[in-house]
């Protein structure tokens, strides 16, 4: 648990604001997704939502081998797993599109990803989305019941494999707080680091849990753009992520939907503005 910074209740309240902003951005994007829209258009919506709240995007400008990441969100289509660069690509009926959004607000970060269907998707993609989402839910259910991460990671991987899919091993979840990526690393399978130094799940621990699941083999590769990660076999993949805190009494999904009148009041003006707008 070296370097893991636990958060106070007051700090969690502040992280919740960042999480709610990310939640709003997802609702707005989800509402706008349809065959014919471009990934750049979705990215622009995310940009405007973050601007409306005065939140700082976390992905824009992240350094990479081919230069800084050029957008506020990562948008990855079909065989693209993560770190896709939004652009002129037009979404087609039957695509699946992963949108990863992170922001900092009042000094604290939120990070959440979701894979959305575009129009009518086939049964295999439908199952892939359900299984990946369920893998995240399983982890969230287990978090308050377990003292260590290892049994949760094992359960996530076993579930994915029992469904005939595979868990990507090149990427994992992470601690999050004032920075988007903090210790510990939170893998979606039992790796060497978990065998040697498991993550102790205690109140104040905040992690981004983010299963990445491939329909085919687990191998991935990077495109020549230096960012986009795709499945090696070209089969589709999915990614679901929430920022979540272990609290004294259970868990708090910081990037989850508003739960109180105060949270509702915080999100409503921006949500209504954008959802009404994109409804045409």
- Binding residues for Mg ion, rule: CB under 5 A, are 100, 111, 113, 208, 241
Which of 55, 82, 94, 87 has its CA nearest to residue 71? Answer: 87
- Between the two ends of the chain, the Cα-to-Cα distance in Å is 49
193 vs 262, beta carbon nearer Mg ion: 193
Q: Please, what is the minimum distance in Å from the beta carbon of residue 111 to Mg ion?
A: 4
Total residues belonging to the chain = 280
Which of 175, 238, 244, 189 has its CA nearest to residue 212? Answer: 238
Q: Please, what is the minimum distance in Å from the beta carbon of residue 27 to Mg ion?
A: 16
122 vs 170, beta carbon nearer Mg ion: 170
Q: Please, what is the minimum distance in Å from the beta carbon of residue 149 to Mg ion?
A: 15
Rounded to 5°, the CA angle 204-207-213 comes to 155
**DSSP strand E in the chain: where?**
56-57, 73-77, 80-82, 96-105, 108-117, 166-167, 173-175, 182-186, 206-209, 212-214, 220-222, 229-231, 237-239, 242-246, 251-253
Residue 154: partners with Cβ closer than 8 Å, 6 or more residues away: 189, 190
Q: Please, what is the minimum distance in Å from the beta carbon of residue 58 to Mg ion?
A: 8
Q: Please, what is the minimum distance in Å from the beta carbon of residue 30 to Mg ion?
A: 16
38 vs 185, beta carbon nearer Mg ion: 185
3 vs 88, beta carbon nearer Mg ion: 3
34 vs 179, beta carbon nearer Mg ion: 179
């Amino acid at each position: 648990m070296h370097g893991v910074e636990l958060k106070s209740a007051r700090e969690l309240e502040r992280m919740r604001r960042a999480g709610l902003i990310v939640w709003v951005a997802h609702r707005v994007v989800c509402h706008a997704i349809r065959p014919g829209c471009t990934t750049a258009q979705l990215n622009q919506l995310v940009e405007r939502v973050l601007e409306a709240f005065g939140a700082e995007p976390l992905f824009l400008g992240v350094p990479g081998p081919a230069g800084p990441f050029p957008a506020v969100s990562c948008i990855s289509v079909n065989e693209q797993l993560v770190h896709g660069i939004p652009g002129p690509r037009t979404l087609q009926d039957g695509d699946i599109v992963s949108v990863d959004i992170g922001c900092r607000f009042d000094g604290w970060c939120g990070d959440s990803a979701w894979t959305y269907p575009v129009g009518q998707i086939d049964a295999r993609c439908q199952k892939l989305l359900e299984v990946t989402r369920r893998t995240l839910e399983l982890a969230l259910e287990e978090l308050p019941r377990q003292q260590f991460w290892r049994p949760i990671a094992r359960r996530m991987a076993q579930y994915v494999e029992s469904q005939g899919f595979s868990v990507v091993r090149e990427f994992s979840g992470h601690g999050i707080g004032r920075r988007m990526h903090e210790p510990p690393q939170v893998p979606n399978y039992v790796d060497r680091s978990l065998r040697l130094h498991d993550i102790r799940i205690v109140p104040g621990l905040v992690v981004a849990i983010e299963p990445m699941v491939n329909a085919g083999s687990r191998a991935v590769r990077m495109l020549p753009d230096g960012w986009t990660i795709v499945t090696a076999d070209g089969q589709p993949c999915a990614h679901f992520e929430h920022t979540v805190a272990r609290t004294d009494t259970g868990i708090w999904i910081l990037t989850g939907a508003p739960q109180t009148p105060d949270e509702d009041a915080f999100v409503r003006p921006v949500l209504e503005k954008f959802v009404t707008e994109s409804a045409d």
